[in-house]
């Protein structure tokens, strides 16, 4: 009986020793992997970012697509100002008028909105956009407001039968300033309009939201325009701009050097792509700031106000070539 107990204790000791041995090697392996990841991660993050010079010629025709009023100025306000001063043909196309703006909910302290309130918000955002773009030298005839429902572009892209009728909205374009006034608010109609705009304007360069932007409307704008371009040959040059991206649950805007006030792309989405920088002179910087100040409804949103202020005085704008 005693021998049996001793034998069992010996077996338990061997099992524990083997377990401790395996755990020890496991910890060492994890430490090695951590060091390896840290080394290569550090090397990746320390790589130099090359910003190529974005060149615009007098022969260019520039088409800028924006999901909402303000995106165009945040991402390309200086570029727009330059195009105006050089009288280069351009058009700014808004897919929505930002009628789902959360500030309107906060302002009226309402949880639920009716169609009329959404539409009134849309008219307000449209006026802000006109005033902002006027600061950048853009005439009203150079702006197109399509007026599709804010916050639902991605669902419209994914599902041709998607309707906003049960979302407090009307299922048609309610804005008489839109070329699609009274048309059904469908992905098919939006795609048709985008193709027509591209065909009529014949752009040499297109600027649109980045495919990695995490805002659903921004991503959908990229996808809609990308699909619209499929039928065109030759294709114009396409440049993507980045407004916001989420990484590890943090909102990260284009990285900015506080000393130089120069915007760089976030390093984790660079890969092997080419990023271009458009450099602003002092007048363009000042015009961009004044244009951003026209978007007062956006300044009331806590998550957006810092972004607007961060871009005051920034000396460049960045774009990735598709």
Give the DSSP letter string of 158-186.
Answer: H-TT---TTTTS-SB---TTSTTTTSB--
pLDDT at 299: 84
Identify the pLDDT of residue 203: 98
Cβ(206)–Cβ(321) under 8 Å? no
- Structure tokens given for 310: 């961060």
Q: Is residue 258 part of a domain?
A: yes
Range of the domain at 212: 60-321
pLDDT of residue 32: 66
26 in a structural domain? no
The CATH number for 116's domain is 3.40.50.10320
- 8 within domain boundaries: no
68 closest CA partner among 142, 141, 136, 153: 153
The answer to whether residue 196 sits within a structural domain is yes
Q: What is the dihedral of CA 212, 284, 91, 181, to 10 degrees?
A: 80
Closest listed residue to residue 208, CA positions, set 224, 230, 196, 186: 224
Domain presence at residue 6: no
Q: Which three-class secondary structure state does DSSP give residue 23?
A: helix
The verdict on residue 90 lying in a domain is yes
Q: Is residue 36 part of a domain?
A: no
Domain assignment present for residue 309? The answer is: yes
Least confident range from 25-34, 81-90, 223-232: namely 25-34
Q: Residues in the chain, how many?
A: 322
pLDDT tens-digit map of 68-118: 999 999 999 999 999 999 999 999 999 999 998 866 666 666 667 788 889
User: Count of domains in the chain?
Assistant: 1
pLDDT at 5: 46
pLDDT, tens digit, 9 for 90 and up, residues 170-217 = 999 999 999 999 999 999 999 999 999 999 999 999 999 999 898 999
What pLDDT score was predicted for residue 289? 95
Mean pLDDT for the chain overall: 84
- DSSP letter at 254? S
What is the per-residue pLDDT across 241-299, written as a single tens digit (0 to 9) for each? Answer: 998 876 545 555 665 655 668 888 877 775 557 999 999 999 999 999 999 999 998 88
Structure tokens at 116: 């009329």
Asked if residue 41 has pLDDT above 50, the reply is: no
In the numeric block, the tokens 């280069």 are attached to 88
The pLDDT value recorded for residue 13 is: 46
Residue 40 has pLDDT above 50, yes or no: no
User: Does residue 11 register a pLDDT over 90?
Assistant: no
Residue 12 pLDDT class (50, 70, 90 cuts): very low
Vertex 181: Cα angle to 176 and 184 (nearest 5): 150
232 close to 204: Cβ distance less than 8 angstroms: no
Tell me which of 311 and 279 has the higher pLDDT: 279
**What was the pLDDT predicted at 44?**
42
Q: What pTM value is reported for the model?
A: 0.83
More confident of the two residues 108 and 150: 150
- Give the pLDDT band (50/70/90) at residue 160: confident
């Amino acid at each position: 009986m005693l021998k049996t107990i001793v034998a069992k204790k010996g077996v338990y000791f061997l099992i524990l020793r083997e377990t401790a041995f395996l755990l020890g090697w496991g910890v060492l392996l994890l430490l090695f992997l951590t060091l390896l990841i840290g080394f290569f991660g550090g090397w990746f993050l320390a790589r130099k970012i090359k910003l190529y010079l974005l060149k615009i010629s007098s022969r260019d025709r520039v088409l800028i697509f924006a999901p909402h009023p303000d995106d165009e100025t945040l991402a390309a306000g200086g570029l727009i100002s330059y195009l105006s001063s050089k009288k280069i043909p351009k058009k700014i196309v808004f897919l929505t008028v930002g009628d789902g703006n959360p500030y309107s909910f906060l302002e009226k302290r309402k949880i639920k909105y009716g169609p009329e309130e959404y539409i009134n918000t849309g008219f307000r955002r449209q006026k802000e956009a006109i005033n902002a773009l006027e600061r950048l030298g853009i005439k009203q005839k150079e702006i197109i407001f399509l007026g599709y429902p804010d916050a639902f572009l991605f669902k419209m892209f994914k599902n041709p039968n998607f309707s906003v009728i049960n979302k407090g909205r009307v299922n048609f374009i309610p804005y008489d300033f839109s070329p699609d006034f009274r048309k059904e608010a469908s992905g098919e109609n939006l795609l048709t309009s985008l193709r027509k705009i591209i065909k009529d304007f014949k752009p040499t360069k297109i600027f649109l939201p980045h495919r990695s932007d995490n805002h659903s409307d921004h991503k959908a704008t990229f996808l809609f325009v990308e699909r619209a371009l499929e039928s065109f040959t030759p294709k114009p040059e396409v440049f993507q701009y980045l407004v916001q991206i989420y990484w590890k649950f943090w909102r990260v805007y284009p990285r900015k050097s506080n000393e130089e006030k120069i915007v760089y792309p976030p390093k984790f989405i660079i890969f092997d792509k080419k990023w271009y920088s458009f450099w602003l002179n002092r007048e363009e910087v000042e015009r961009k700031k004044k244009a951003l100040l026209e978007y007062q409804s956006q300044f009331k949103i806590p998550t957006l106000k810092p972004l607007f202020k961060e871009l005051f005085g920034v000396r460049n704008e960045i774009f990735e070539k598709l």
